[in-house]
Homo-oligomer: A and B are copies of this chain.
Amino acid sequence: MRLLSSLLSSTNPLRHHFTSPLRNAFSFQFRNFPRLFSMDSSERSLRNALSLKQLAVEAQGDAVRALKAAGAAKAEIDAAIEALNGLKIEKASIEKQLHAVVSGAGGGGDGALNRESFRQAVGNTLERRLFYIPSFKIYRGVAGLYDYGPPGCAVKSNVLAFWRQHFVLEENMLEVDCPCVTPEVVLKASGHVDKFTDLMVKDEKTGTCYRADHLLKDFCNEKLQKDLSISSEKAAELKHILAVLDDLSADELGAKIKEYGITAPDTKNPLSDPYPFNLMFQTSIGPSGLLPGYMRPETAQGIFVNFKDLYYYNGNKLPFAAAQIGQAFRNEISPRQGLLRVREFTLAEIEHFVDPEDKSHPKFADVANLEFLMFPREDQMSGNSARKIPLGEAVSKGTVNNETLGYFIGRVYLFLTRLGIDKDRLRFRQHLANEMAHYAADCWDAEIECSYGWIECVGIADRSAYDLHAHTEKSGVPLVAHEKFAEPREVEKLVIAPVKKELGLAFKGSQKNVVEALEAMKEKEALEMKATLESNGEVEFYVCTLGKNVLIKKSMVAISKEKKKEHQRVFTPSVIEPSFGIGRIIYCLFEHSYYMRPSKAGDEHLNVFRFPPLVAPIKCTVFPLVQNQQYEQVAKVISKSLTVAGISHKIDITGTSIGKRYARTDELGVPFAITVDSASSVTIRERDSKDQIRVGVEEAASVVKDVTDGFRTWEDVWSTFPHHVSASAED
């Protein structure tokens, strides 16, 4: 359960109750403000130098004009102009230096251009080969909706199958499958109906909608990157805004938009004040129109409402984890960033229920020795970078709150790197105190770096008992666990006993309110009252349902602590939630897997995806070297064996050159190609090394199966079979 903290009104006491691990990726780069806010000293001195130089240019310009007006000698005027030009050159040089500094830090310069062109190269290949395409393209599409075409769909189903293997099967999780259509009451309890909003502004003339924070962010970035004349104070102010953008209230955002004169980007019309827009797709269930519903914004709620049954299914034992893979929906105001911010997406979520008093994990030792990039809160605040920390150390030192949370962080690391995510561009970033919900014990995001920056792809949060509490309260069904004691235990319990007769005499019609308020006191408050009553005999007591203080006398309430025997402990379990944005992971995987290499002739660049076999959309292609019935027959025999072995593959019997056929499958990330060049033996080529071995026809399928399923490595196969060096074409 995660909501957008950034855009809730700051006056709302719930604003920090909700975090948004899968929403805030774009804004993250500005979130780490202690580091970004402290402007680089070279930038500050350059901005100051630039301001001074600008003043000098203006003064010299005035001087030139004055000389001309006074009819001074040509030599004198020329000298002044020459001085002016000198100053302009110096100014341009400072601008250039400043531009370089700003680009490096803010992402708008050459680095950004490289990222942009890389992104375009990947994107073109992905769209051309139908990894994904904008949905409903023949009808000009809908922003934020994408289709996975055949290879993308295969990658997605491989990623999900591995997720199921790695988490659900290996950890014995209880997988469930709940509907997307959700009645309002469920999302009212979770808080989504009231709080799952972004702040929106409207073009006052055309009615076009924009995200208020996007406009302010774009304005600040544009100013910082393109307008080099702004003072270092102004630059600091803009950077500060970017840093605190997520924390601005509607009023604060509105005030800044007014102050900077920001208008609608397309029309330059004035904008409305910001107001909240709920991001859920609303619908109506049944024909009456009386039962409002929403398309779920996450899959987690389906698990929480089933807690009681799942706990029973697990033999009334903790801990256990439930999992769900499914579609989720968010009606984004203005989707950006391709596959990273979409209106419908696949989530895979785990809710691990655990006794809040024992968050140890029996398998933690299996991951304790892993060492990878972690970015604890303190390092972010003090301006350090992410660094490699052994997971065991992070947990034992308390950087990561508990073993179970640590175990999942380790399992997520293994999951992502086995898919092919580059471990050097993957980090686990801890939420800062102001990002976390007040009830959360700890929260870490797996962030993957791609051309859009560091993107949050998995959120791993210890959400304590919040969600089960919320549904217990709304539904009246206790979502709790029991711990039976071997021996009954003696516990001390607070007992508050209002004396109704006395209270009735004193407060008449308000008696009930006073009684309820007394009974609702927390332990600390009650003990304080007890002490005051004992010393003073009376005490002022605020009754919120009456809106005033009343005077409570000693005779009106008895407060004591009593010892009781208890046979079991009843408690609300904590939940540790790893939540995976599958589309984001896949997009980052595409970027990390993509590379270009020159063709043999060197005249063009060929695209390759270095997907591991686990992920590759097709594991193998089968090519008859030339069009010839005998070779085709052999190809069909091998194809049949591959089918039996469960290896997805494709035959290509077109007459295209073998080099072109290899290039075509490299572009789909197919790891192996079997080429039939005789009736008895064939070659197998590995995609990235382009190395080829020669194997017998009857062995081909099983060799490919072994390397695909990970029973053998390519190196092992390479050292076993004779090598093949092709005389022509690409290889």
Contacts and interface: CB of A to CB of B under 8 A. Distances in A.
A130 interface: yes
A139 B302 contact: no
A306 B181 contact: no
A286 B143 contact: yes
Contacts of A370: none
A160 to B, nearest CB: 9
B172 A650 contact: yes
A95 interface: no
Contact of A177 (B153, B174, B648): B153
A718 interface: no
A469 to B, nearest CB: 13
Which of the listed residues A133, A283, A288 has the most CB atoms from chain B within 10 Å of its own CB?
A283
Interface string A171-185: 010111111111101
A44 interface: no
A13 interface: no
A479 B138 CA distance: 10
Contacts of A180: 180, 295, 327, 329, 344
Interface stretch (A162-170, A587-595, A719-727): A162-170
Interface in A263-314: 277, 281-288, 291, 293, 295, 302, 305-306, 308-310, 313
B331 A133 contact: no
A172 B305 CA distance: 40
Given A283-B283, A343-B181, A305 B149 contact: no
A154 interface: yes
A90 interface: no
User: Size range of the interface on A?
Assistant: 35 or more
B170 A643 contact: yes
Contacts of A208: 288
Contact of A148 (B136, B176, B181): B176
A332 B285 CA distance: 9
Interface string A389-426: 00000000000000000000000000000000000000
A137 B344 CA distance: 26
A547 to B, nearest CB: 32
A362 to B, nearest CB: 12
Which of the listed residues A156, A174, A474, A646 has the most CB atoms from chain B within 10 Å of its own CB?
A174
A102 interface: no
A333 B148 CA distance: 33
Contact of A313 (B130, B308, B471): B130
Given A169-B648, A284-B282, A302 B147 contact: yes
A315 B661 CA distance: 13
Contacts of A149: 174, 176, 306, 309-310, 313
16 contacts: A129-B313, A130-B310, A135-B179, A136-B185, A139-B183, A139-B305, A142-B183, A142-B293, A147-B177, A147-B178, A149-B310, A156-B177, A161-B161, A170-B643, A180-B329, A207-B288
Interface of A: 129-130, 133, 135-139, 142-143, 145-150, 152-154, 156-157, 161, 164-165, 169-170, 172, 174-183, 185-186, 200, 207-209, 277, 281-288, 291, 293, 295, 302, 305-306, 308-310, 313, 315, 327, 329, 331-333, 343-344, 471, 474-475, 477, 479, 643, 646, 648, 650, 654
